[in-house]
Amino acid sequence: MPPHWIPQNPTFQNYLDVLLPGGRTSEVARTFAITLRNSFIVASFVTVIALIVGSLAAYALARMAVPYRSGFMIGILGTRMIPEISLVIPLYLLAARFNLLNTHAVLIITYLCFIALCDLVDGRLL
């Protein structure tokens, strides 16, 4: 039997089951809705905070006479050369010490550490 690339009877029921889980949906569908909500919360907070902090820092570095500005920019560029995977264990130890494991806060802080420096160095806000 050759594969059918176009469905014979298309339906949106699977999308409805995943996005609006009911009593008869699977555990995977219910878990997907929770993880989608958590991802939206974390992404929203990271985006708003990174835009605010990155915009203010980029404006200060671009327009104001900041002492040691070139050294600061070289320091930021140097930290971007560190592979992000090498920071996983130290970030885990910090999160465990401050009892932030399995919270939205630890994800927001971790993503901000990587994103804020990236915005300054890449020149998106400069």
**pLDDT per residue as tens digits for the range 50-96:** 889 878 877 887 888 878 888 877 877 777 787 878 888 888 999 99
With vertex at residue 97, the alpha carbon angle to CA 92 and CA 102, rounded to the nearest 5 degrees, is: 55
pLDDT one-digit tens code per residue, 22-61:
778 788 888 888 898 999 999 999 999 988 987 887 788 7
**Contact yes or no for 41/104 (Cβ under 8 A):** yes
Q: pTM, whole model, 2 decimals? A: 0.71
> What is the b/e burial string over 21-56, where b = at least 16 CB atoms within 10 angstroms of the residue's CB?
beeebeeebeebeeeeeeeeebeebbeebbeeebee
User: What is the domain partition of the chain in residue ranges?
Assistant: 13-122
